[in-house]
Structure 1
Amino acid sequence: MCHVFVLSTLAFFSCSKTETANPVPTNPPGDTVPVTPPREDTFPPQQVGITTQKIDTKGGNISNYVLYIPDGYNEKKDYKWPIVIFLHGVGEMGNNIDVIKNVGLVKVAAGKPFVIIAPQCLSGWWNPQYLEILYKEVISKYHVDPKRVYLTGLSMGGYGTWDWSSAHPEKFAAIVPISGGGDVNRMKNLKTMPIWVFHSADDPTVNVENSRVLVKQLRALGNNVQYTEYPNGGHDAWTRTYANQDVYTWLLKQHL
């Protein structure tokens, strides 16, 4: 009889303890929330080599660009490629996009380890407003690294390089302006930008002082800008520049 009483008492306290404790939530079998794996970057494959592409700049003066896709682009799905935007000179202005394939950086594109974007200016001058539309499209459309976007250009494109980069320095990891010029008052926007400038001392089209004054101002601001001034060569300071492998080695070391 005592044993029965003791057992009953234990059962009572056991039930009372269970009822007053905070219930532990449990999920029924099969009711667990699945862990979603990280989403892979998905970019459509591109034709390797040089092609031409269209773009709508909302009434702007850019409607086409040359695209260079390097070998391995479609296979390296986990690699974001560096990208170089090339701005041509006044001689390539118009609506014949094929002329862009035979000038400056695009002319020597084969084998380069980066994507190249070379827009064509229909008329007027390079306008950062429309170049910004181009920038946004190529960053979203191609498998490229936004921390390794480089800008270069020759003559009018050299001016465009100075203008665009000083208006939006946060976009570019480095710039290479050739035979161009810009606004000395905007160099403060580029005081931390990696820059390599090229010009010929005997340039009859764009006086070399246009580059010298910008380099001088940048150095006064503390920028360790690199400056290569060829003693001769006239306006064409770009052929030997784009043939120089050291330029690409330096360029690809730079990142935001």
Structure 2
Amino acid sequence: MINRRQLLATVPPLLGGCAALPPVPPEGLAAGEQRPWRLGGERMWVWLPPDYTRRAERWPLVVFLHGSGERGTELDKVKVHGPPMWVARGTAYPCLLVSPQLEEGARWEPERLHRLLGALQSHLHADRRRCVATGLSLGGHGVWNWASAHPGDLAAIAPVCGYGDPAAVAAMRGVPVRAYHGAVDPVVPLARQQACVDALLAAGGRATLTIYPGVGHDAWTPAYQDPDLMPWLLAQHRT
């Protein structure tokens, strides 16, 4: 008896120009659930929307990068803030959400993230034109550096209490930015992210910076409750 995976493999020769069938989740993942997953040595949480197996269209992909406090081997720590936390609480985002974890002491390196994105695009039913990234603190620094080093990877970024290299952001002027920061952040001073936003605007890019008066380093609590953030990310397309 032919199973569904074998049937999908026969679709091109059998159906020719007919519409593609909905995808089958990779082993270990399920539609409508956020599950732990390993891919190419990377450990992560992956959320697949409930309609993943019911529609053939490709999905936008959101990559979330955690902060320094969530590094290590306990994957549950990745769900303490941001989008993976909201999924754990019942939010059903209409996108693929991937939340990898760093080893203790590691940092988000652009080349590693570039390779991870390529692997995700090969295994998940992702729209390559609608891959975006967001991250907080160390993760906010990671998304700035990723977009600067590989601007063709991402349709947009949303760094929270992060920073990058103002001298490098001109390379990502085609990547729109929606940034967030606490006005009195003692860990990553507001001026560091403001300098990146200013440099990007000066280079002809698009960027906004939401500043929370009286807020310190924890800009992620209000940022990830911004009702416009996720719709904005999911509306972006890489040209």
Correspondence list, 1:145-160, <5 A: 145-160=127-142
Partner of 1:51: 35
Correspondence list, 1:15-164, <5 A: 37-38=16-17, 40=20, 43-45=23-25, 46-47=29-30, 48-57=32-41, 63-76=42-55, 78-109=56-87, 110-123=91-104, 124-164=106-146
Partner of 2:224: 242
Quote the offset at 1:42 in angstroms.
6.7
Partner of 1:30: none
Q: Per-residue CA shift, 1:191-219, capped at 9, x if unaligned?
A: 12111111011111111111111111111
Distance in 2 between residues matched to 1:36 and 1:243, nearest whole Å: 44
Quote the offset at 1:249 in angstroms.
1.9
Is the deviation greater in 99-108 or in 139-148?
Answer: 99-108
Is the deviation greater in 40-49 or in 182-191?
Answer: 40-49
Instruction: Give the match's secondary structure for 2:152.
Output: helix
State the identity %. 34
CA contact (8 A) 1:43 1:141 kept: no
Is the deviation greater in 91-100 or in 223-232?
Answer: 223-232
Distance in 2 between residues matched to 1:236 and 1:121, nearest whole Å: 20
C-alpha spacing 1:35/1:52, structure 2 compared with 1 (3 Å): closer
| Structure 1 residue identity aligned to 2:24 | P
CA contact (8 A) 1:152 1:176 kept: yes
CA RMSD of aligned residues (A): 1.7
Partner of 2:8: none
Partner of 1:174: 156
Distance in 1 between residues matched to 2:57 and 2:94, nearest whole Å: 12
CA contact (8 A) 2:22 2:52 kept: no
Q: Larger Cα Rg: Structure 1 or Structure 2?
A: 1
Equivalences, count: 217
Structure 1 residue runs of 5 or longer lacking an equivalent are 1-33, 58-62
Q: Per-residue CA shift, 1:1-34, capped at 9, x if unaligned?
A: xxxxxxxxxxxxxxxxxxxxxxxxxxxxxxxxx9
| TM-score normalised according to structure 2 size | 0.86
Structure 2 residue runs of 5 or longer lacking an equivalent are 1-12
C-alpha spacing 1:71/1:208, structure 2 compared with 1 (3 Å): same
Instruction: Give the match's secondary structure for 2:145.
Output: helix
CA contact (8 A) 2:64 2:100 kept: yes
Q: Per-residue CA shift, 1:228-253, capped at 9, x if unaligned?
A: 11112210111111111211222222
Quote the offset at 1:41 in angstroms.
6.1
Partner of 2:4: none
Distance in 1 between residues matched to 2:14 and 2:43, nearest whole Å: 43
Q: Per-residue CA shift, 1:168-194, capped at 9, x if unaligned?
A: 010111100110111111111111211
Q: Per-residue CA shift, 1:104-151, capped at 9, x if unaligned?
A: 111112211111001000132111222222111111111110100011
Q: Per-residue CA shift, 1:153-178, capped at 9, x if unaligned?
A: 00000000001111101011110011
